[in-house]
Amino acid sequence: MSLLIRNARILTLAQGARPRRGKELGDLGIIPSGAVLVADGKIVAAGDKVEAPADAEIIDAQGRVLMPGFVDCHTHACWAGDRLDEWEMKLRGVPYLEILKKGGGIHATVKAVREATQKQLAASLRDRLGVMLREGTTTVEVKSGYGLNTENEMKMLRAIRRAAAEWPGTVAATALIGHAFEGELEEYVRMVVKDMLPEVAKEFPDIAVDAYCEEGAWSVEACVRLFEKARKHHPIRVHADQFNSLGMVPEAVRLHARSVDHLEASTKKDLILLAQSPTCGVILPCTGLHTDQRFTRSRLFIQEGGALALATNCNPGTSPTHSMPLAIATAVRFCGLTPAEAITAATVNGAAVLGLTDRGTIAPGQRADLILLHHKDERTLAYELGGNPVDTVICGGQKIA
């Protein structure tokens, strides 16, 4: 059965190379009033006038915005337990790194994840994915990283795979096997490289490998050791410069990482270096909103020609949100993005970070992941705070809501 969405203000995002860089971030490829035809899960046609089969289901957009579904390219959405006690400590002024040293933060979630079954982890993730879909996210990256040993990291990855199979959208799993550590870092890294990475590679041969470079977490040297081994068979990504600039950005560029994520504490020199490299920069502004009011200097990165993506960083400790619209609104207010740049960063550039070329734009042959907003002006995505701006979600060609 075909589906025709007509009388829509269409944000095609179909112009330019992938990912979008610099000035291209602001080009939404707008068709002021047009139609999109969907069949067999794909976009068949998009333009001012589109012919449709007689039996096509019709959605009259009535001038509202039709755009690609959100691609949330950085989340930790698979977890167990909660961090409410820790949050109250933050409200009293206790720094996150101090909480981490006392066994809180990541380690509190590690304990809860280890106690949970694979089935329980999959069920809680599936519930979160359902919320994300209703708010317009049709593709989401989900990391492991709360297991900290081979058995529990594999349990997380299997739970992610299980939840993904029961969700109409697309889940891209990432093996965050350098998230934190137990015991001595050097010995832990040796275990990850020697034992955990081969097990992950055996069962998930194409998965991206990630690490968290920060004081109290993995050092630059530890990350490089993991990535030198992993990049022979896996894409690599890295969390860097969230609280401190430790020198990971130049190494990530040298190693051809797919992305460097966070960047709140990055130096001007490193932001320019990253912007002028093939590696994408992923900003996570909801983290600053919730944690410490520190945000990436995104305007500089864009002006230097950087490929910028935007994600929620959904996790129980530093960014407890499922909402890409909130991430867009926060990025515009605190990171210096225009609404158009934020929309591009949340769609086609997020897809580029995940290595997905069949989504993020509205063009013939693309996967039919579309969202119809309640609004006639896309700037409302950034203007409004709270609530759900999405009226209808079309995921893989199927009308979901």
328, 225: one domain: yes
278, 371: one domain: no
60, 81: one domain: no
76, 25: one domain: no
138, 226: one domain: yes
User: Do 25 and 308 contact (CB within 8 A), yes or no?
Assistant: yes
Whichever domain contains 106, its CATH number is 3.20.20.140
- The closest of 301, 267, 295 to 281, measured between CA atoms, is 301
- The closest of 238, 327, 337, 318 to 280, measured between CA atoms, is 238
Query: Is residue 60 left, alpha or beta, with left meaning phi > 0 and alpha meaning psi from -120 to 50?
Result: beta
Q: What is the pLDDT of residue 95?
A: 83
49, 98: one domain: no
The pLDDT-based confidence of 272 (bands split at 50, 70, 90) is very high
133, 266: one domain: yes
101, 180: one domain: yes
Residues in the chain: 401
And the tokens for 180? 């934190």
What predicted TM-score, i.e. pTM, was given to this entire model?
0.97
46, 85: one domain: no
Tens of pLDDT, residue by residue over 281-312, are 999 999 999 988 999 999 999 999 999 999 99
Tens of pLDDT, residue by residue over 340-366, are 999 999 999 999 999 999 999 999 999
Tens of pLDDT, residue by residue over 191-248, are 999 999 999 999 999 999 999 999 989 999 999 999 999 999 999 999 999 999 999 9
367, 305: one domain: no
User: Do 71 and 41 contact (CB within 8 A), yes or no?
Assistant: no
Tens of pLDDT, residue by residue over 25-62, are 999 999 999 999 999 999 999 999 999 999 999 999 99
SS3 content of the chain, % helix, strand, coil (to 5): 35, 20, 40
Number of compact structural domains in the chain? 2
347, 383: one domain: no
Whichever domain contains 35, its CATH number is 2.30.40.10
173, 90: one domain: yes
Q: Look up the domain containing 386 and give its range.
A: 3-68+361-399
